[in-house]
Chains A and B, each alone.
Chain A
Amino acid sequence: MSRTLLTVFTFCSTALLAVSSANAHRMDLIAHVHGSEIHGEAHFHGGIAAKDATVTALDPAGEKIGETETDEQGAFTLVAKFCCDHRLVVKTADGHGAQCTIAAGQLPSSLPPRAGAADHHHASHEHDQSESIRADLASLREQLHGYEQKTRLRDVLGGIGYILGIAGIAFYLLGLRRRQADQGATDK
């Protein structure tokens, strides 16, 4: 029976390790537009701020159009110089990173368009905005779905953990009963 227990234990610990190591160093980057400024925050999984990380803004062609650093709270502000898609890439000194994109439609159209980048954003500003909201919603739904799956797995593993814990308590109590019975036998 101990072999079966060992298998269950190994399975549970492997599954737990797989779940936690995937998230251990995950970094999240969120950003929104206010006027012509891009405000954002970078943090590690679990809410720890990623301070002194470099945030680079790239245009759709991949050229650098801005750079800044995060403060103590992991927050940053970047002034947009062009009206084009801004791909924000954050990197910490020890090599962790994350990225997100600010669509051109969210930036004020008064900004000069990026030379070389497509200029179609001006023509359909509103259309782009609703498009970007739709894209954001889709990604949120995806994240929520993934989160639900993950909590379900954790609940299952948690339940098995409870059962093993109860088995441990049962071992203790039954062992106590057995020891008392043994003592009673030797006393007589």
Chain B
Amino acid sequence: MHIYEGFLAATPSGQAVLVAGATAAAVGTAIGLKKIDYERVPQIAVLSSAFFVASLIHVPIGPSSEHLVLCGLLGLVLGWAAFPAVFVALLLQAVFFSYGGLTTLGVNTLIMAVPAVVCHYLFRDAVRSRSESTVFVVGFAAGGIAILMGAFLAAGALWAAGAEFRMFSKLVVLGHLPIVVVEGLVTGSVVVLLRKVRPELLEAPLLATSQ
């Protein structure tokens, strides 16, 4: 999901993509920061930490391995505040583990925060359903669609960067297909759990346990 440091900077159109990404990410982060309330700071911090750690846990799929991203979950709980949460976590990943990098920080923030915000608007009402199975399906959809959207955004960024990157854009989408299912399952389960123990995070009523 991360675009590597120095990858896009090689061509002028790639540099334009980097600058556009950085500008858009700055705007998104500013909107997110405006929307933060005093009471929501711990939620954002906890989810930002979860996002930071999740990318370090690799799930082996066939010959390669993929990692969880959790942007669907971030969107459902945080909405626009997903932007600063993703930005901070990506900055730390770039500094500590060289995942992504400082020049690609803007583009990578967009790739992971835009799906989160879109999922927030798509699913924020549906996730308040009183049926456990609906909540799970909504969580699954949010997790899966967020990954797909992120992969398409990454592919789009590579596509816009020039002809020499277009081969990679197809690989990015194909490579993320397995993680769509894993991420959907994880997000679905987490959302059901949240509805049962911490429904206020989703601004939803408590979901009665099935027993």
Q: Which residues of A pack against B, CB within 8 Å?
A: 1-2, 4-5, 8, 155-156, 158-160, 162-164, 166-167, 170-171, 174-175, 178
Contact A155-B97, Cβ < 8 Å, known A163-B92, A171-B38: yes
List of A residues within 8 angstroms of B52 by Cβ? 156, 159-160, 163
Contacts of A164 on B, CB cut-off 8 Å?
45, 49
Q: Which residues of B contact A170 (CB under 8 A)?
A: 36, 41, 44-45
The answer to whether A163 and B42 have CB atoms under 8 Å apart is no
Assess A174 versus B38: contact at CB under 8 Å? Given A156-B53, A159-B96, A163-B89: yes
Does the CB pair A8–B49 fall under 8 Å? Answer: yes
The answer for the CA separation of A167 and B198 in the assembled complex, in Å, is 20
Q: B45 contacts A167, CB within 8 Å?
A: yes
Contacts of B96 in A (CB 8 A): 155-156, 158-159
In the complex, residue of chain B having the shortest beta-carbon distance to the beta carbon of A155: B96
Residue of chain A at shortest CB distance from B44: A167
Which of B38, B42, B88, B97 has a CB less than 8 Å from the CB of A2?
B42
Question: Smallest distance from the beta carbon of B5 to chain A beta carbons, Å?
Answer: 17
Max chain B Cβ within 10 angstroms of own Cβ: one of A2, A156, A163, A164: A163
Given A163-B52, A164-B49, A174-B41, 13 extra CB contacts under 8 A: A8-B46, A8-B49, A155-B97, A156-B52, A156-B56, A159-B49, A159-B89, A159-B96, A160-B49, A162-B88, A162-B92, A163-B92, A170-B41
- For this complex, 29 residue pairs linking A to B, each with C-beta atoms less than 8 Å apart, are A1-B39, A1-B43, A4-B46, A5-B46, A8-B46, A155-B96, A155-B97, A156-B52, A156-B53, A156-B56, A156-B96, A158-B96, A159-B53, A159-B92, A159-B93, A160-B53, A162-B88, A163-B48, A163-B49, A163-B52, A163-B92, A164-B49, A167-B41, A167-B44, A167-B45, A170-B36, A170-B44, A171-B38, A171-B41
A163 contacts B45, CB within 8 Å? yes
Instruction: Verify if B164 is at the interface (C-beta below 8 Å from A).
Output: no
In the assembled complex, the Cα of A156 lies from the Cα of B37 at a distance in Å of 27
In-complex Cβ contact of B42 among A160, A162, A167, A175 (8 A): A167
| Pairwise interchain contact A166-B97, C-beta atoms closer than 8 A | no
CA–CA, A8 and B44, complex, Å: 13
Q: How far does the alpha carbon of A170 sit from the alpha carbon of B198 in the complex, in Å?
A: 23
Q: How far is the CA of A93 from the CA of B198 in the complex (A)?
A: 55
Q: Are B41 and A163 in contact (CB under 8 A)?
A: no
Q: Which residue of A lies closest to B92 (CB)?
A: A159
Most buried by B among A4, A5, A159: A159
Closest Cβ of chain A to B161, distance in Å, is: 29
Contact with A along B91-106 (1 / 0, CB 8 A): 0110011000000000
Asked if B45 and A166 sit within 8 Å, CB to CB, the answer is yes
With A155-B97, A170-B36 known as contacts, the answer to whether A4 contacts B92 (CB < 8 A) is no
A174, B34: Cα distance in complex, Å: 10
